[in-house]
């Protein structure tokens, strides 16, 4: 559907494949692998946050469509759009931090 916010499946799949390969590389260095009992990983938290952002964008679109056809409340539309905008700004800020951290790691000398 045009205009609908969709998750970034390629990035999530790349992260999952990297995460799956990580324990072998961690074990090769002699470090301990993270335990599964420590809770959900960073990837799961990131995926959950992205899904919340997508859901809020979709809710804002639905509220806007209802208002356009005369069945919605303007206050509900403004609230939904504001939540979606805040969620998008947060997602962009996290993305920028992740990219900056990646670039910092890549510039480290070994």
| pLDDT, tens digit (0-9, with 9 covering 90-100), for 1-13 | 444 444 455 555 6
The whole-number pLDDT of residue 43 equals 83
Residues 19 and 41 sit within 8 Å (Cβ to Cβ) = yes
Of 5-9, 12-16, 17-21, 52-56, the least confident: 5-9
The whole-number pLDDT of residue 1 equals 43
Q: What is the pTM of this model?
A: 0.56
* Per-residue confidence band for 71, with pLDDT thresholds at 50, 70 and 90: confident
- Domain spans in the chain, listed from the N-terminal domain onward: 40-110
């Amino acid at each position: 559907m045009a205009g609908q916010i969709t998750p970034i499946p390629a990035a999530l799949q790349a992260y999952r494949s990297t995460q799956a390969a990580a324990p072998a590389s961690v074990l090769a260095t002699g470090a301990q692998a993270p335990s599964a009992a420590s809770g959900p990983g960073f990837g799961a938290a990131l995926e959950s946050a992205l899904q919340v952002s997508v859901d809020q964008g979709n809710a804002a679109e639905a509220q806007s469509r209802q208002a356009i056809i005369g069945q919605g409340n303007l206050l509900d539309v403004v609230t939904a759009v504001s939540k979606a905008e805040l969620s998008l700004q947060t997602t962009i800020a996290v993305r920028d931090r992740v990219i900056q951290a990646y670039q910092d790691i890549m510039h480290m000398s070994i």
